[in-house]
């Protein structure tokens, strides 16, 4: 244990405790730390394969829970030496991967030396090397892979960080806070010292050392603090940082304006790195980003990429208050920072662009990613009750549903009162490690709401379903609403939720409603009556998606066509279009449609599409949303058990029919939009979106014509949106233009990792009948590697999300993903575990495929030495 010569070869996560059972951490077992660490001084002697870390901890007994034993978490590291109060200390012991020391007094200084190998760190957690630079990722539990520490978010320390290293290899030396000193050492080394005055948990620590160039700007806060801003990238990439910088400045302004939050240091640094497990990380004063959320220029980034950069830059910046100044007491509270920060970045993006379009996109993400989570074996509340590996809980539930839950508070309180609530929250808990309960209480007190029953949104998993019945008598309409919260693992019985539903009743004759009502459904069944309706109105409910629920209401096709054309809530218009199509496709897949019903259903959809294409009052961005068909994963949610082959076939057939029926409209649209010159304004972006949409519909209806147009769009493209859109359409067609365009794209962007990622994912996500074989071949392409998470996701996430590949009836898609998990797990368990949920959905799939999926999960489960990440996801998926 005290062996200086070797670092443990196995990551601790591959080790099971003595009884062979995985350790389960329970939310209700929380106890305060026995020791606090008000200060830490770190000293790094940097090297790519052996970095020496000296850590000096000032520890103090915690009056809240005093105990003699100081527990310092470790993971895959060994202590070279331990000193207490300046004296060598041998009376310490290991408990699994943790180092324990019994300390007699109230306060001590503990000094520990460790050595880590960044180059061998393929998990990209802790200190790792990426293309010759060194960087850290500590959330959630990566700090313990660098040095021994009470690695839990309720231990807050003031950090002083000194680092020294080769001046040539590491000309830039960064950490959190402010630079306080620097100098030259011997033998071509130099050093720098950083000090962060704000106490923070270890997960927010960061260090970066490498050969980087900075794009610089500055921002003056409203109280007059001048903040130096820098975005560090590899030489050659600096021309692609403008959009990120503009987004950062806009975020800083917006948070002052909308939430009254000001930045609190004299500098704010961002570093972009190519090898990164997630999107980005909010380390105090030193955000570290996946390059894909920083680098953007018109030639290499789509409009969607621009939005993603803006949203993620804002998200990480907003964490400075919602996450850093007020942090989480324990990891069960993750949604405290993530749900709230996602809401904040959504609100910011809505203010920057088209609010209705942003809302539609956010709901689409929720339905595609979170609804399946909520209805599957990995369902968990936004505040989970237990976990084995916290990395598995960075989910769409914690993030996106978490944001929806807080958004409902804004609906209930209104913006002014909600702001009073958040002011109180930041005031009350500044400098603290808080809980979700603290947040809810602050909103209650500040906004003047009673959220007693509303708190169930934090406790209960599963997407509530609301069944709506409408009755009309005399001049009164009565809505009877019934809610059901489905059983989820560990939660068989559910209590009624508080469900705020923005509602309007439209008069058929005038096409108008008499004002919106906020219905708050809080019981299992409840009726609401509205008078003044001489004739039965058309119901528009859950406008703006005011609650993250599934509405089941018996609306006729005729009424849906009416709402799609007349609803003054843009989201509700979109929703009516979606419902129209979902109802049709679900019945078609179930084989419930007679030929006459099929014709009638299509006719209604065709009518709604034609109206949207002709409506001069719509802007193109919104028009583009309205003509997107519901995604396959959302359709799967409506059907259990589902035959993915049938869903694909019916959805494609509807697309083909719309392409044929509206062929003239699509070609006119494609011509009109192709004439709009490139700019980043909404009109030009809308045109680009529709341009590719037109091709998407033409492709199945008139493949030769579509291929010709796609090829022309590709060749004329001045920007990645047009180029990628055209290539996507070509990739799905069996036409000669396909191979030519793919080869051109690969050659044109050789060496640009982010664009080559697109090349992989377009092929893996394509509608081409041979897409599975294409993916299998691409796995052997010289540009493919398992060591870069972006590349792995580009190929295999796109494949797992493509039912034509993943759900291939032979089971070869499932086998391919299972093989990937097994191969990737020893390299990067965190990323490998992300591929388990698609297989875990087997219970929702028709029996033949379900058996194949389950067999693959069992094959993975039989593998000894799985990471804790994969082990947890697989075992839960088999239950
Ligand atoms: N906290 C990061 C964010 O959402 C996400 C993240 C988690 C990044 C874990 C890396 C590792 O902003
Ligand atoms: Zn976040």
CA–CA dist 320, 262 (Å, integer): 9
CA–CA dist 831, 780 (Å, integer): 20
pLDDT at residue 640, as a whole number? 86
Q: At CA 313, angle to CA 312 and CA 316, rounded to 5?
A: 80
Contact between 46 and 166 (Cβ < 8 Å):
yes
Q: Model-level pTM greater than 0.90?
A: yes
pLDDT tens digits, one per residue of 790-799: 999 999 999 9
- Find the helix or strand (DSSP H, E) in which 517 lies: strand 517-521
The ligand minimizing its distance to the Cα of 204 is 1
Class of residue 586 by CB neighbours under 10 A (exposed 0-12, middle 13-18, buried 19+):
middle
pLDDT band at 3 (very low <50, low <70, confident <90, very high): very low
Pick the residue whose CA is nearest to atom 12 on ligand 1: 281
Pick the residue whose CA is nearest to atom 1 on ligand 1: 281
Distance of CA 241 from the midpoint of ligand 2 (Å): 21
Given the CA of residue 312, which atom of ligand 1 is nearest to it? Answer: 12
pLDDT band at 10 (very low <50, low <70, confident <90, very high): very low
CA–CA dist 306, 299 (Å, integer): 12
Given the CA of residue 338, which atom of ligand 1 is nearest to it? Answer: 4
CA–CA dist 639, 780 (Å, integer): 36
**Statement: residue 15 has pLDDT above 80:** no
Pick the residue whose CA is nearest to atom 2 on ligand 1: 281
The predicted model gives 537-566 an average pLDDT of 96
pLDDT band at 19 (very low <50, low <70, confident <90, very high): low
- Find the helix or strand (DSSP H, E) in which 101 lies: strand 98-102
523: preceding bond cis by omega (within 30 degrees): no
Helices (H), 401-435: 402-413, 415-429
Contact between 874 and 834 (Cβ < 8 Å):
no
- Sign (positive/negative) of CA torsion 238, 244, 246, 251? negative
Contacts with 120 (C-beta within 8 Å, 6 or more apart), sequence order = 49
CA–CA dist 72, 51 (Å, integer): 20
pLDDT tens digits, one per residue of 333-361: 999 999 999 999 999 999 999 999 999 99
Taking residue 851's Cβ as centre, other Cβ atoms within 10 Å add up to: 12
Pick the residue whose CA is nearest to atom 3 on ligand 1: 281
Which ipTM score applies to this complex? 0.99
**Statement: residue 75 has pLDDT above 50:** yes
**What three-state secondary structure class fits 18?**
coil
**What three-state secondary structure class fits 5?**
coil
pLDDT tens digits, one per residue of 743-772: 999 999 999 999 999 999 999 999 999 999
**What three-state secondary structure class fits 212?**
coil
CA 625 to chain centre: 21
pLDDT at residue 294, as a whole number? 99
Pick the residue whose CA is nearest to atom 9 on ligand 1: 139
Q: Which two tokens stand for residue 784?
A: 């493919």
CA–CA dist 645, 632 (Å, integer): 10
**HEC readout, 794-829:** HHHHHHHCCHHHHCCCCCHHHHHHHHHHHHHCCCCH
Ion ligand 2 residues within 5 Å by Cβ: 338, 341
Give the DSSP letter of residue 631. P
pLDDT at residue 570, as a whole number? 97
CA–CA dist 792, 784 (Å, integer): 8
pLDDT at residue 186, as a whole number? 87
Catalytic positions, please? 316
Question: Burial letters for 149-187: b for 16+ Cβ neighbours within 10 Å, e otherwise?
Answer: bbbbbbbbbbbbbbbbbbeebbebbbbbbeeeeeeeeee
Taking residue 312's Cβ as centre, other Cβ atoms within 10 Å add up to: 22
pLDDT tens digits, one per residue of 262-318: 999 999 999 999 999 999 999 999 999 999 999 999 999 999 999 999 999 999 999
Distance of CA 356 from the midpoint of ligand 1 (Å): 27
CA–CA dist 146, 52 (Å, integer): 9
pLDDT tens digits, one per residue of 197-239: 999 999 999 999 999 999 999 999 999 999 999 999 999 999 9
Distance of CA 337 from the midpoint of ligand 2 (Å): 7
Residue list, ligand 1 pocket, CB within 6 Å: 137, 139, 277-278, 280-282, 315-316, 319, 338, 394
Question: Burial letters for 251-263: b for 16+ Cβ neighbours within 10 Å, e otherwise?
Answer: bbebbbeebebeb
Taking residue 17's Cβ as centre, other Cβ atoms within 10 Å add up to: 9
**Statement: residue 393 has pLDDT above 80:** yes
Pocket test for ligand 1, best of 135, 275, 279, 399 (most atoms within 8 A of CB): 279
213-220 and 178-184 beta bridge pairing: unpaired
Taking residue 648's Cβ as centre, other Cβ atoms within 10 Å add up to: 18
Taking residue 341's Cβ as centre, other Cβ atoms within 10 Å add up to: 26
Give the DSSP letter of residue 301. -
Taking residue 878's Cβ as centre, other Cβ atoms within 10 Å add up to: 15
pLDDT tens digits, one per residue of 144-166: 999 999 999 999 999 999 999 99
Closest CA to 115 of 166, 160, 49: 49
Tally: H helices and E strands in the chain: 31, 31
Pocket test for ligand 1, best of 394, 402, 829, 869 (most atoms within 8 A of CB): 394
The ligand minimizing its distance to the Cα of 394 is 1
pLDDT at residue 12, as a whole number? 41
Backbone torsion region of residue 544, taken as left when φ is above 0, otherwise alpha when ψ lies between -120 and 50, otherwise beta = left
The predicted model gives 797-812 an average pLDDT of 98
**Statement: residue 11 has pLDDT above 90:** no
Pocket test for ligand 1, best of 136, 273, 280 (most atoms within 8 A of CB): 280
Give the DSSP letter of residue 497. P
Distance of CA 394 from the midpoint of ligand 1 (Å): 8
Q: What is the mean pLDDT of the chain?
A: 97
**Statement: residue 511 has pLDDT above 60:** yes
Class of residue 501 by CB neighbours under 10 A (exposed 0-12, middle 13-18, buried 19+):
buried
Taking residue 361's Cβ as centre, other Cβ atoms within 10 Å add up to: 20
Strand partners, 518: 502
CA–CA dist 288, 317 (Å, integer): 11
pLDDT at residue 21, as a whole number? 81
The predicted model gives 464-489 an average pLDDT of 98
The predicted model gives 55-72 an average pLDDT of 96
Contacts with 566 (C-beta within 8 Å, 6 or more apart), sequence order = 506, 511
Given the CA of residue 276, which atom of ligand 1 is nearest to it? Answer: 10
Contacts with 233 (C-beta within 8 Å, 6 or more apart), sequence order = 212, 213, 215, 240, 241, 271, 272, 291, 294, 295
pLDDT at residue 16, as a whole number? 52
pLDDT tens digits, one per residue of 697-720: 999 999 999 999 999 999 999 999
pLDDT at residue 17, as a whole number? 53
Taking residue 785's Cβ as centre, other Cβ atoms within 10 Å add up to: 10
Give the DSSP letter of residue 201. -
Distance of CA 334 from the midpoint of ligand 2 (Å): 9
Distance of CA 406 from the midpoint of ligand 1 (Å): 19
**Statement: residue 18 has pLDDT above 90:** no
**Statement: residue 2 has pLDDT above 50:** no
The predicted model gives 112-129 an average pLDDT of 98
């Amino acid at each position: 244990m005290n062996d200086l010569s070797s670092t443990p070869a196995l990551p601790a996560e591959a080790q099971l405790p003595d009884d062979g059972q995985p350790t389960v951490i329970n939310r209700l077992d929380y106890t305060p730390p026995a020791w606090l660490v008000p200060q830490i001084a770190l000293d790094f002697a940097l090297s790519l394969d052996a970095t020496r870390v000296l850590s000096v901890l000032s520890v103090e007994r915690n009056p809240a829970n005093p105990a003699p034993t100081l527990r310092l978490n470790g993971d895959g590291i060994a202590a070279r030496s331990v000193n207490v109060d300046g004296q060598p200390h041998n009376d310490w012991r290991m408990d699994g991967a943790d180092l324990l020391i019994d300390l007699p007094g109230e306060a001590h200084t503990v000094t520990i030396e460790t050595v880590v190998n960044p180059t061998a760190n393929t998990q990209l957690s802790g200190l790792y090397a990426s293309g010759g630079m060194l960087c850290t990722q500590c959330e959630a539990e990566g700090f313990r892979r660098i040095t021994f520490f009470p690695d839990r978010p309720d231990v807050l320390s003031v950090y002083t960080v000194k680092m020294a290293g080769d001046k040539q290899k590491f000309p830039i030396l960064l950490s959190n806070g402010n630079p306080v000193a620097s100098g030259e050492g011997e033998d071509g080394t130099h050093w720098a010292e950083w000090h962060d005055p704000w106490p923070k948990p270890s997960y927010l620590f960061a260090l970066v050392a490498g050969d980087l160039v900075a794009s610089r700007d500055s921002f003056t806060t409203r109280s007059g603090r001048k903040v130096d801003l820098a975005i560090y990238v590899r030489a050659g990439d600096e021309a692609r940082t403008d959009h990120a910088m503009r987004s950062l400045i806009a975020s800083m302004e917006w948070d002052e304006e909308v939430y009254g939050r000001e930045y609190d240091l004299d500098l704010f640094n961002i570093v972009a790195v190519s090898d990164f497990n997630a999107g980005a990380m909010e380390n105090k004063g030193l955000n570290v980003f996946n390059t894909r959320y920083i680098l953007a220029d018109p030639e290499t980034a789509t409009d969607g990429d621009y939005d993603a950069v803006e949203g993620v830059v804002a998200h990480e910046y907003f964490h400075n208050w919602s996450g850093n100044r007020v942090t989480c007491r324990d990891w069960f509270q993750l949604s405290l920072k993530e749900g709230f920060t996602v809401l904040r970045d959504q609100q910011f993006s809505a203010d920057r662009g088209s609010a209705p379009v942003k809302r539609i996109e956010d709901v689409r993400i929720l339905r595609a990613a979170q609804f399946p989570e909520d209805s599957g074996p990995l369902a968990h509340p936004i505040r989970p009750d237990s976990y084995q590996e916290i990395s598995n809980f960075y989910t769409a539930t914690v993030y996106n549903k978490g944001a929806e839950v807080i958004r409902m508070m804004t609906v209930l309180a209104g913006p002014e009162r909600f702001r009073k609530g958040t002011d109180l929250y930041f005031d009350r808990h500044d400098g603290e490690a808080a809980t979700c309960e603290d947040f809810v209480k602050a909103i209650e007190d500040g906004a003047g709401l009673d959220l007693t029953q509303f708190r169930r949104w934090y406790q209960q998993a599963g997407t509530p379903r609301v069944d709506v019945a409408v009755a009309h008598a005399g001049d009164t309409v009565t809505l009877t609403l019934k809610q059901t919260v489905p059983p989820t693992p560990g939660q068989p019985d559910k209590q009624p939720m508080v469900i705020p539903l923005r509602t309007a009743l439209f008069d058929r004759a005038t096409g108008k409603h008499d004002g919106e009502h906020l219905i708050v459904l809080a019981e299992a069944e409840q009726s609401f009556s509205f008078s003044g309706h001489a004739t039965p109105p058309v119901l528009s409910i859950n406008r703006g998606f005011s609650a993250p629920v599934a509405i089941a209401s018996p609306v006729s096709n005729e009424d849906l066509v009416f709402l799609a054309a007349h609803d003054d809530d843009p989201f509700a218009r979109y929703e009516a279009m979606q419902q129209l199509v979902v109802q049709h496709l679900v019945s078609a897949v179930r084989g419930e449609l007679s030929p006459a019903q099929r014709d009638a259903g299509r006719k209604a959809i065709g009518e709604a599409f034609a109206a949207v294409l002709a409506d001069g009052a719509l802007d193109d961005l919104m028009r583009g949303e309205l003509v997107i068909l519901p995604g396959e994963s959302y359709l799967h949610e409506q059907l259990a058990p589902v035959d993915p082959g049938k869903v694909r076939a019916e959805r494609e057939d509807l697309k083909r029919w719309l392409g044929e029926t509206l062929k003239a409209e699509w070609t006119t649209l494609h011509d009109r939009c192709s004439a709009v010159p490139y700019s980043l304004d909404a009109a030009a972006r809308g045109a680009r979106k529709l341009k590719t949409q037109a091709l998407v519909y033409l492709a199945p209806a008139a493949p030769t014509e579509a291929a010709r147009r796609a090829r022309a769009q590709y060749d004329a493209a001045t920007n990645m949106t047009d180029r990628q859109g055209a290539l996507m359409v070509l990739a799905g067609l069996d036409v000669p233009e396909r191979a030519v365009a793919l080869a051109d794209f690969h050659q044109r962007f050789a060496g640009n990792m982010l664009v080559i990622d697109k090349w992989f994912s377009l092929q893996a996500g394509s509608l081409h009948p041979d897409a599975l074989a294409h993916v299998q071949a691409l796995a052997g392409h010289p540009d493919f590697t398992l060591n870069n998470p972006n590349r792995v996701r580009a190929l295999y996430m796109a494949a797992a999300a493509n039912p034509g590949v993943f759900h291939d009836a032979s089971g070869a898609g499932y086998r391919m993903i299972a093989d990937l998990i097994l191969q990737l797990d020893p390299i990067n368990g965190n990323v490998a575990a992300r591929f388990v949920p698609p297989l875990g959905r087997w219970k929702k799939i028709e029996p033949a495929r379900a058996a194949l999926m389950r067999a693959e999960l069992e094959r993975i489960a039989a593998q000894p030495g799985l990471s804790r990440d994969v082990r947890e996801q697989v075992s839960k998926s088999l239950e």
